[in-house]
Structure 1
């Protein structure tokens, strides 16, 4: 019995230490009624950002043209742990819209990019698709086709989900869950063998075919395990110990 109590105390300490050692770089719950200009920018080459705050959520509008395709965070990072809630909305034809995330991004159009394609959308349905861009020349904007990965469950428009993305060096991990679930499912890991973008910010993509909500965004300076809350990990581990 003492061994079990000792184990649970050690687990609790290690989990709390992991979170405490990570610095929160940015949090936005979009409850201010307008876009927080301390957190977000349209980039130097654009005149506006095609986003708005609606009902305590960030709405990425389907109106991006030219340079206003992109909106950027203002906090640069190297290693990171990112978590946010998202909801794909519909395009004008009633199809589910792709959700577009930039990371390690810069305003001179160097970035990594993730698209999540919903099961009720068009094109490649229910996949994670990864891209890189290395210059303002659009010809350098390329998909890493070998990394296309089927999502672990159907992502449907007008439903909420939580995404977790981690990065240490050039190794990245993607996790996904329904917002109401406690435990995330791992989608994939991958490594950028070319080491293209060591530092940058986060961002989101808008254009005529992208429409989605973002909420409750957390950005840490290390790849903390955001997939399961510490209390849930402790409960699960304690359950296994009691069965021994």
Structure 2
């Protein structure tokens, strides 16, 4: 997605995307700081050149979100009432997380499939019942797969955002066996918007205790912090370290 965006910018704004342009802008900023150039005049000159470039780009730049590429893939999403598979052809679309397959029956059919980096279709994973009920709404809990290919347990009553009626948003949090030092709750595995893993208190938002590294239920031998964390730097062995910034305790972690 970043490569596509860069290509679009270079094509639509060749003057601004030149390496030399950055150097020229820095020189102008230095002149403004030293008083050799008036900042109002500098902005006015910049905008007089930039405005027509924006107008031209808005008319000529490709609308990547609306583009579709035909494929031989067929939508296999089942109808909730009849159980019949959709069967409509799927097209390649561009979304926030890159290219993916979407049913040509959209929006009536919400069928989508993930594409791997090599362009191959990622194997579809059907939610598996866990035998437990959702503590929030009573619907069955199922094991699912997220957009990063990782498994989690959530409510089968989940629906996309803004659905009417709204679905259940419950997700079973994975406990790591360590108590929160701030409130006594449980530290659980969580995922940030960008996909990176971190660990936080299950009492959120009342308790905002977090740590970026996997916590283990071992008290620090030096400062008695209630848990240590597993760290691993590039080309280095795994280490157990104290997360207390004022403590430098660290020892090699057992395999």
What band does the TM-score fall into relative to the shorter chain? under 0.3
Query: TM-score normalised to the size of structure 1?
Result: 0.26
Q: Which has the higher strand share?
A: 1
Give the number of the structure whose alpha-carbon radius of gyration is greater: 2
